[in-house]
Structure 1
Amino acid sequence: MKIQLTDAWNKMANRLESWLNNLIINLPNIIIAIFVFVIVLFLSKYISRLTLKLLSKSSLQKSMKNVIAKLISILVIFAGLFLVLGILDLSKTLNTILAGAGVAGLAVGLALQGALANTFSGIVLSYIKQIKFGDWIESNDFEGEVIDIDLRAVTIRQPDNNLVYLPNKLVLENPIKNFSSTAQSRVILTCGVGYSSNLEFVRDLVRQTIVSNFEPVANEKDVIFIYSEFGDSSINFETRFWIDSTSALEVAKAKSEAMICIKKAFDKNDINIPFPIRTLDFPKNFKFTQEQKEG
């Protein structure tokens, strides 16, 4: 038993001595490899910035420029890794890596299906013109301004200034409502007036009010006014007009301003905006008791 332990100790000592000798022999290469890899990291950042600067004069979207710069930066780092392996004289390791790249790629692809799908979707979203930086969009029940598109997610800023990160795959596969695709947005406002109102006067008054308070509306013909239904307590109408804005927040502000202006105009002309009321009908011979009258 003692002899076996001695042999095992000697083998371990010889192996450690061999490793130490190899480390000392390869120490210059290791130092050079570390130095080269650090340079590659700085070089990748510099090339990424240089790529953005060169692409700034192109007609590509800002998101596409960022994606191209990141991909070039990643390629530079991979090239640096292969260079480091060559400096360390790990050609056999390099060949093993290349030989196993197919199998490893398949395994990684299966394990990272979601991440790869988001990466591919990010490249597609960066290329298409239907969505770009500064657009006001609605997607997956979230609405806001697009402030970033990277290889993982689309970042939008909501009206309350909160940031929402939508995975690229979900944005690409689901409908996108882009409020910024046109130069104008339509404001739609619904309201109701009493049955005793002069409907033609109400229509003209609403149109005049919109024209006088909103600059983009040139004349009354630009205001669409439609009576929609006979409601339970009012005759309801809908009015529509355009404003020079592509932001949903600006549309909401314009709608609020229109409500204030129309309410002032109605009050000034004694036009009633009814609200639901309940009417109680009693039999003709019905009499209240003294307690009911006092109550």
Structure 2
Amino acid sequence: MKDINNALELLLDKLQVWGNQVILLLPNIFVAIILLILTFYIARMIRNGLDNVISRFSHSNALNNLISTLLYLSLLLLGFFVVLWVLKLDKVVISLLAGVGILGLALGFAFQDIAANFISGVIIAVQKPFGVGDMIETNEYFGVIERITLRTVDIRKPTGELVKLPNKMVFENPVTNLSFHGTRRVDVEVGVSYAEDLERVQTIVIDALENVKNRVKNRDIEVMYDAFGDSSINFKARFWVSYSRQVDYVGAKSDAIIRIKKAFDANNIVIPFPIRTLDFAIKGGDRLSDELQSIKSINGAGSESQQQESNKG
């Protein structure tokens, strides 16, 4: 019974000490609560104001949200440490800072790829090598950029599939931005007969392509001969078109082929078919026709012998 009484007395003494400490800390607790409320209020005001300022200089929503969120969290963390200091919990602050450092180091090793994609996304958002709606080709993928986040670049292929490429892959590999200048050159390969007047063909092709779809009028049409083929003289007809979608390119190329074919038909210009001579060598380089003639002669002689034996019978 005596032991229980002693334990109760110790407990009451401890509670009394704690109560006295709480009473002494009441002003600090009151100040800490006010500081905490002010921290949330000021951080929210700064975040809203920063959103309006950043949006004037950057059109990347992902980057804007990242900057404002990081600043908001930093202000809250700073206010939290100030509150702990007011409550005379300095050792707790030091322990928390050390813990945050160790935790950050551990997370950095554990999520290297995520961090790399995140940093690559920030750099892409700042440099702006391409934007939503651009037609690009990268990492063997070709399509229209549908969305850019701090983790992926979403590409919609011409056949409809959506590809989510990690920012690290896009940042570290070559990217062809086909929409950057708003124009693109179309090359059409054609062949004409060796008998044609090549200068006349040039004039006819240029006239045929004058009003092709989406053609940029201030850039010349070029018809350049580049090879003596097996059955034709080959040339490339080159012209520039306005480009924002892939259909602009393929549509103009299709229209150009139709116009060239109609112009050639109207002017009796021949697009020759490839001619192949097939030589079936049976043995020792003998030609197939000679071998067939020999076989025919042998079969004919055999038929005559059979006929004679039949007559004797």
Q: What is the RMSD computed on CA atoms of the aligned residues?
A: 3.6
Distance 1:116 1:195, change over 3 A: same
Alignment of 1:28-43 (within 5 A): none
C-alpha distance after superposition, 1:10-42 (max 9, x if no partner)? xxxxxxxxxxxxxxxxxxxxxxx9xx9xxx8xx
Q: Which segment is superposed worse, 46-55 or 68-77?
A: 46-55
Alpha-carbon distance in structure 2 between the residues aligned to 1:100 and 1:217:
63
Aligned to 1:162: 161
Give the 3-state SS of the residue equivalent to 1:227 in structure 2: strand
Alpha-carbon distance in structure 1 between the residues aligned to 2:252 and 2:275:
30
Alpha-carbon distance in structure 1 between the residues aligned to 2:48 and 2:261:
55
C-alpha distance after superposition, 1:138-190 (max 9, x if no partner)? 11111122222211111122212322111111111111111122132111111
Q: Aligned letter for 1:276? A: P
Aligned to 2:63: 67
Distance 1:166 1:48, change over 3 A: farther
Counterpart among 229, 232, 242 of residue 231 in structure 1: 229
Alpha-carbon distance in structure 1 between the residues aligned to 2:99 and 2:174:
40
Task: Tell me how far 1:223 sits from its aligned partner.
Answer: 0.7
Task: Tell me how far 1:107 sits from its aligned partner.
Answer: 1.5
- Answering whether residue 269 of structure 2 is matched by residue 271 of structure 1, we say yes
* Residues matched between the structures, number: 250
Task: Tell me how far 1:84 sits from its aligned partner.
Answer: 8.1
Aligned to 2:301: none
Alpha-carbon distance in structure 1 between the residues aligned to 2:289 and 2:121:
75
Structure having greater relative contact order (Cα 8 Å, sep ≥ 6): 1
Structure 2: gaps spanning 5 or more residues: 1-32, 280-286, 298-313
Aligned to 1:22: none
Alpha-carbon distance in structure 2 between the residues aligned to 1:133 and 1:125:
12
Q: Aligned letter for 2:217? A: A
- Answering whether residue 142 of structure 2 is matched by residue 146 of structure 1, we say no
Q: Aligned letter for 2:195? A: S
Distance 1:284 1:80, change over 3 A: closer
Task: Tell me how far 1:50 sits from its aligned partner.
Answer: 7.2
Q: Which segment is superposed worse, 97-106 or 69-78?
A: 69-78
Give the 3-state SS of the residue equivalent to 1:267 in structure 2: helix
Alignment of 1:44-63 (within 5 A): 54-56=53-55, 58-60=56-58, 62-63=59-60
Q: Is the 8 A contact 1:49 1:69 kept in 2?
A: no
Task: Tell me how far 1:123 sits from its aligned partner.
Answer: 0.5
Structure 1: gaps spanning 5 or more residues: 1-32, 291-295
Alpha-carbon distance in structure 2 between the residues aligned to 1:280 and 1:109:
68
Alpha-carbon distance in structure 2 between the residues aligned to 1:278 and 1:214:
37
Alpha-carbon distance in structure 2 between the residues aligned to 1:230 and 1:59:
56
Percent of aligned positions that are identical: 38
Aligned to 1:132: 131
Aligned to 1:18: none
Distance 1:226 1:125, change over 3 A: same
Give the 3-state SS of the residue equivalent to 1:130 in structure 2: coil
Aligned to 1:240: 238
Counterpart among 257, 266, 277 of residue 259 in structure 1: 257
Q: Which segment is superposed worse, 275-284 or 246-255?
A: 275-284
Alpha-carbon distance in structure 2 between the residues aligned to 1:134 and 1:50:
29
Task: Tell me how far 1:252 sits from its aligned partner.
Answer: 2.1
Aligned to 2:112: 113
Q: Aligned letter for 1:216? A: R
Alpha-carbon distance in structure 1 between the residues aligned to 2:51 and 2:271:
58
Q: Aligned letter for 2:112? A: Q
Q: Aligned letter for 2:165? A: L
Q: Aligned letter for 1:173? A: E
Q: Is the 8 A contact 1:133 1:148 kept in 2?
A: yes
C-alpha distance after superposition, 1:102-152 (max 9, x if no partner)? 222221111111111111110000011322222221111111222222111
Aligned to 1:102: 101
Distance 1:161 1:111, change over 3 A: same
Alpha-carbon distance in structure 1 between the residues aligned to 2:187 and 2:93:
65
